[in-house]
């Protein structure tokens, strides 16, 4: 008998826990007939609602359900890592609790690994139906930029929904960095990977935890690895001064070409433009260095990725 571990990071998902469990268990007969047993690990990421009591209800009903509960919200990346550490399965799946990652795909994913010899099966959504257009636009730009800047391929629309072999999971676990960007980590470890595509499904209940700003910060993490606010102020100031300088340049040029300069202070104006522009660029560059320094700083601290409050 083989074991399949299903890892489910949850943050304020009280309305989805039972639905998710029922949907997942629809695969039970398929996996039974293939001699595969289930283990479901809910990772509660510091939920403030009824998520934990509901998972406990499931535990009372079904001995295959486990719960790791964090002391506070540590983010989905930490949740996935905790789940992977806890999993004992020969195969490990990661999926969202909101049913945006359809459990019905699991048999196909399993087939690709067990029969076709893949090490991991990942999923990507082929469209972004139901997403605000502005969000889709920035997401697409992000993938363009990051793929130009990174050697590791990061696939547009890739979800964290994935089925992996034990060997693949061990490779992921060997990457212990604090600044985790899974979309990159999955690609970095290599192995033979298959992509399954599906149409975007809107979240069943509850709300997405990803505000536009959160996504923006997550994207910066992905590109620059990480940022701490004070260090990035330098970058923002740099851009700000560049813009001010540019406006100055335009104003001075337009004034010169139209009314001329009655005070004959040409030298003063251009000097201000140049000083602002150059110092803006300098601050911007120091900001970039700062970003990388802050990343190294957080890694050096070597803090745990998460703190467990309850482990059932
Ligand atoms: N999640 C989490 N910690 C967080 C935010 C989200 O564990 O800090 C979980 C959440 O419960 C869900 C999954 O990660 O199961 C994906 O989150 P969400 O649906 O909000 O993201 P989206 O699908 O909109 O990208
Ligand atoms: Mg979701």
CA 69 / ligand 1 centre spacing (Å): 15
pLDDT tens for 104-154 read 889 999 999 988 889 999 998 887 777 788 888 888 888 888 787 777 778
Mutate to test the pocket of ligand 1, among 77, 94, 98 (most ligand atoms within 8 A of CB): 98
The number of the ligand nearest the C-alpha atom of 20 reads 1
User: What is d(CA 68, CA 311) in angstroms, rounded to the nearest whole number?
Assistant: 5
Containing 57, the helix (H) or strand (E) segment is helix 51-61
Q: Name the 3-class secondary structure at 93.
A: strand
Q: Which of 24-28, 95-99, 127-131, 302-306 has the lowest mean pLDDT?
A: 127-131
Q: Which CATH class is domain 2-226?
A: alpha beta
pLDDT tens for 33-54 read 888 888 999 999 999 989 999 9
Share of the chain above pLDDT 90, in %: 30
Which residues line ligand 1 at a C-beta cut-off of 6 Å? 9-11, 13, 45, 73, 75-76, 79, 96-98, 100, 203, 208-210
Angle at 252 between CA 246 and CA 254, to 5 degrees: 100
Q: What is the mean pLDDT of the chain?
A: 85
Split at pLDDT 50, 70, 90, the class of 264 is low
Residue 140 Cα distances to 27, 38, 180, 203, angstroms: 34, 36, 21, 20
Closest among 21, 13, 56 to 39, alpha carbons compared? 21
Asked if pLDDT for residue 301 goes beyond 50, the answer is: yes
Supply 69's token pair.
């509960």
CB atoms within 10 A of CB 269: 18
Residue 252 Cα distances to 151, 266, 273, 275, angstroms: 43, 8, 9, 14
User: What is d(CA 310, CA 312) in angstroms, rounded to the nearest whole number?
Assistant: 6
Q: Going by DSSP bridges, is the β-strand pair 65-70/158-165 parallel, antiparallel, or unpaired?
A: unpaired
The answer to whether the beta carbons of residues 98 and 206 sit under 8 Å apart is yes
Q: Going by DSSP bridges, is the β-strand pair 158-165/2-10 parallel, antiparallel, or unpaired?
A: unpaired
Supply 276's token pair.
């602002």
The answer to whether the beta carbons of residues 297 and 276 sit under 8 Å apart is no
- Higher-confidence residue of 15 and 234: namely 15
Asked if pLDDT for residue 239 goes beyond 80, the answer is: yes
Supply 193's token pair.
């990977």
The number of the ligand nearest the C-alpha atom of 159 reads 1
In the chain, what are the domain boundaries? 2-226, 229-301
Nearest-atom number in ligand 1 for the CA of 96 is 15
Angle at 130 between CA 125 and CA 133, to 5 degrees: 95
Sheet order of strands, 120-125 included: 193-198, 120-125, 158-165, 91-94, 2-10, 36-44, 65-70, 308-311
How high is the pLDDT of residue 275? 85
* Ligand 1, atom 8: closest residue by C-alpha: 75
- Higher-confidence residue of 158 and 66: namely 66
- Higher-confidence residue of 292 and 207: namely 292
User: pTM score, two decimals?
Assistant: 0.79
How high is the pLDDT of residue 229? 46
* Ligand 1, atom 21: closest residue by C-alpha: 208
**Separation of CA 98 from chain center:** 16
């Amino acid at each position: 008998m083989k074991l399949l571990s299903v890892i489910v990071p949850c943050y304020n998902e009280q309305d989805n826990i039972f639905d998710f469990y029922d949907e997942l268990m629809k695969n039970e007969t398929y996996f039974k007939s293939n001699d595969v047993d289930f283990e479901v690990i809910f990772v509660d990421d510091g939920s403030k609602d009824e998520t934990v009591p509901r998972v406990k209800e499931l535990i009372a009903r079904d001995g295959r359900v486990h719960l790791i509960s964090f002391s506070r919200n540590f983010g989905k990346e930490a949740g996935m890592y905790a789940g992977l550490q806890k999993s004992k399965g020969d195969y490990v799946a990661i999926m969202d609790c909101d049913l945006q990652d359809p459990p019905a795909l699991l048999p196909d994913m399993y087939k690709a690994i067990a029969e076709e010899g893949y090490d991991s099966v990942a999923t990507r959504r082929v469209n972004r139906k139901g997403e605000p257009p502005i969000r889709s636009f920035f997401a697409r730009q992000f993938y363009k930029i990051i793929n130009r800047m990174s050697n590791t391929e990061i696939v547009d629309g890739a979800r964290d929904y994935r089925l992996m072999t034990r060997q693949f999971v061990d490779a992921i676990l060997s990457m212990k960095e604090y600044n985790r960007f899974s979309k990159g980590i999955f690609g970095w470890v290599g192995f033979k990977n298959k992509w399954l595509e599906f149409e975007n499904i809107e979240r069943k209940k509850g709300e997405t935890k990803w505000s536009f700003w959160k996504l923006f910060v997550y994207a910066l993490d992905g590109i620059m690895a990480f940022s701490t606010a004070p260090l990035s102020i330098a970058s923002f100031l740099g851009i700000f001064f560049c813009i001010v300088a540019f406006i100055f340049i335009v104003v001075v040029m337009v004034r010169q070409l139209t009314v001329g300069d009655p005070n004959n202070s040409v030298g003063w104006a251009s000097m201000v433009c140049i000083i602002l522009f150059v110092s803006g660029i300098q601050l911007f560059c120091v900001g970039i260095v700062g970003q990388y320094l802050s990343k190294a700083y957080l890694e050096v601290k070597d803090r745990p990725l998460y703190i467990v409050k309850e482990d059932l």
